[in-house]
């Protein structure tokens, strides 16, 4: 199993401000699969993603990625893990405004030992003709494509996406989801996608529904719908 999460617990604050966000989460995911983590605001889905990404420490439990335990790693080893294994895509792009599209992607390219081909990635994501533009010259969808390219240039085994379509209109959201599906097929990238959108779960291999810090339900999706056919985005 590529990703194995066992009895993860996570809390914030203390005394009167104490709140337990994750209350014993256990799940797993095979390599090369796409998985949606869905739940209402405050359910713990983004916290779970951040714990898997090594951004938030857990109180207890185990997170194994490709057979390697990440809970308890030193800050330096966690940094090495994120650099070597992970790509992150966020809702609000987080592009460097005074760098071009290509330069934004190169920021992560320099971190990789075996990066993907820049020209191939730009072509795959439809950014070749925009590579010398600055973020302010791009549409929201183009900025998200740049953010995805920046995450992928490292050739990560695991791509973590936190509301990747949350700031986009329905048509652009569909384009981004089609792109993620194509990337999964082309590069065999394992993907965890946090979303509040109820339609996205229909295109992935596995669905995890979180409620009040616990897994309410999880299942394998045996009747996947191509993202181009998703409704109500």
Residue 114 has a pLDDT of 87
Q: Are 151 and 88 in contact, with CB atoms under 8 Å apart?
A: yes
pLDDT (tens digit per residue) in 52-80:
999 999 999 999 999 999 999 999 999 99
Q: Are 35 and 161 in contact, with CB atoms under 8 Å apart?
A: no
Q: How many CA atoms lie within 13 A of 102 on its CB side?
A: 12
pLDDT of the chain, 233 residues: tens digit per residue: 899 999 999 999 988 899 999 999 999 999 999 999 999 888 999 999 999 999 999 999 999 999 999 999 999 999 999 988 999 998 888 899 999 999 999 999 988 888 999 999 999 999 999 999 999 999 999 999 999 999 999 999 999 999 988 888 888 899 999 999 999 999 999 999 999 888 999 999 999 999 999 999 999 999 999 999 998 77
pLDDT (tens digit per residue) in 146-179:
999 999 999 999 999 999 888 888 888 999 999 9
Long-range contacts of the stretch 18-22 (C-beta < 8 A, 24+): 20/213, 21/47, 21/213, 22/47, 22/48, 22/51, 22/58, 22/213
């Amino acid at each position: 199993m590529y990703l194995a999460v066992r009895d993860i617990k996570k809390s914030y604050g203390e005394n009167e401000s104490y709140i337990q966000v994750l209350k014993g989460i256990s799940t797993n995911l095979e390599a090369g699969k796409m998985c949606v983590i869905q739940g209402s605001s405050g359910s713990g889905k983004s916290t779970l993603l951040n714990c898997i990404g090594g951004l938030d420490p857990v109180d207890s439990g185990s997170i194994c990625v490709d057979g390697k335990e990440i809970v308890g790693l030193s800050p330096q080893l966690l940094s090495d893990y994120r650099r070597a294994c992970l790509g992150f895509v966020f809702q609000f792009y987080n592009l460097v405004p005074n760098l071009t599209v290509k330069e934004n992607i190169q920021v992560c390219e320099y971190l990789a030992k075996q990066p993907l081909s820049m020209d191939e990635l730009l072509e795959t994501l439809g950014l070749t003709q925009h590579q010398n533009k600055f973020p302010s010259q791009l549409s929201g969808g183009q900025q998200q494509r740049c953010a995805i390219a920046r995450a992928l240039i490292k050739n990560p085994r695991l791509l973590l996406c936190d509301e990747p379509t949350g700031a986009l209109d329905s048509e652009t959201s569909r384009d981004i989801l089609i792109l993620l599906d194509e990337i999964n097929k082309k590069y065999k990238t394992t993907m965890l996608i946090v979303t509040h959108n109820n339609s996205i779960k229909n295109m992935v291999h596995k669905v995890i529904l979180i409620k009040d810090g616990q897994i309410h339900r999880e299942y394998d999706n045996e009747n996947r719908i191509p993202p181009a056919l998703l409704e109500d985005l």
